[in-house]
Amino acid sequence: MLRRSLLLLLIICSLLAVSPPLRSQSGDLRQRIMLLLTAYHPQFSAQDWQQLGEDAPLVMMAMVDELVEVRSWQLRLLDGLKYFAQKEVIAFLEGIADGTGDSLLRRQAVSSLVFMRGSEEIPRLQRLLSQASSQNDWRLRARILQELVDLGDESGLRLVTQHLRQESSAIVRSRTQRLLQQRFRRFGSSPR
């Protein structure tokens, strides 16, 4: 949490420090980012996000905290950030995923991190899975298990099957088992 606050402070200072022309550019950038947030049917590609430029992640991260009144915009921002594999972005997403805040945003941060780092994220997923053990955290567990199934990594799938034996939520169990079945129908193998 502290790390995230410091990061945000850094972002805000960076934005305040820019010269007037740059601020104007930032305004234009915000408008271009807003376009990706406000489309009725968001089908934007990595290129659409990346062509916003290298300054975009800073602005996007600031907007995540600024646009709290519209959750769909926050989710799209967190999703769009996955196309910017920068240290600051990863730290920002990790801060949200590891935090104790909004479950919906945490789930999206987890998904974006898995997109960016693939199997390298498995240790974090394992840790989060064990931490999110309360009844209220079942949504997060369901998402983590889904990411593990989608990753298809052998160790990840083993983790899923191990976790399912102790999963307390019937919903999580049934959802994950359905995902596993779909995956095995597609690939024709089962986890060991």
Partner 1 sequence: MRKLATKSLLSAPVAVISLSLAILLACGQSFDDIRELRTLVVSVLDLGEFELASSTFEQPLRLSPQVALNFPSDLGSAGSVTLLMQPTESLTQEHLFTVEVEQESNNSASGAQALPTTTVQVDGNISDSDAGSTVDGSTAEDFFSLSHGTTESRVAMLTSQLTTADFELLVLDAPGTTVLADSRSDEDGSSNESELVEYAAVAGETRLFAIDKVSSDSIDVGYHLSHWQLVMEVEPNDTTATAQSLNATGDLFHAIDGAAAAVDVGSSVSIEGDSKTVEDFYRVTVPRNALVAFALQMTSKPLLGDLDLYVVRSDTNELLGSSTIDQSSSSANVESFTVLLPADVEVFIFVDAVSGLSDYLLGIQVISEAFVTKPLLLLSGFEDPDEVPLFALSSECTSASFASADCKVQDNGLFSKLNEFSNVLNQSVGLDALSLLLPNNDVSFPLDDDKIVVAGDYGALFSGVYLDNATVDSEHTLTSEVKALVKKDNDINFGLLNINLYFVGNTVVDAATSESGVQRVDEILAGIDTIYAQVGIELGEVKRFNLTTAAADSLGIDFELTDAESITLLFENIQREEGVMNIFLVESFSIPGVVGLSLGIPGLPVVEGFPTSAAIFAMLTPIDQQSGTELNILKRIIAHEIGHYLGLYHPTESDGEEFDPLTDTAQCGTENDANGDGFVTHSECTDKGAENLMFWVLPDNNNDINNIDGITLSEQQGFVMQVNHYVR
**Shortest distance, position 82 Cβ to partner 1, whole Å:** 9
Cβ closest to partner 1, residue 11 vs residue 176: 176
Q: How far is the CB of 11 from partner 1 (least distance, A)?
A: 21
**11 and 58 in contact (C-beta within 8 Å)?**
yes
What is the b/e burial string over 139-167, where b = at least 16 CB atoms within 10 angstroms of the residue's CB?
bbbbbbbbbbbebeeeebbebbeebeeeb
14 vs 99 by CB, closer to partner 1:
99
Tell which residue, 72, 68, 73, has the closest CA to residue 34: 73
Minimum Å gap between C-beta 108 and partner 1 is 5
Decide whether 122 or 146 has the Cβ nearer to partner 1: 146
Question: Could you give the C-alpha distances from 35 to 29, 150, 186, in angstroms and in order?
Answer: 10, 29, 36
Residues binding partner 1 (CB under 8 A): 28, 31-32, 34-35, 37-42, 51, 69-73, 75-76, 78-79, 104, 107-108, 111, 139, 142-143, 146, 170-171, 174-175, 178, 182
Q: Which two tokens stand for residue 105?
A: 């945003």
Q: Which is nearer to partner 1, 124 or 173 (CB)?
A: 173
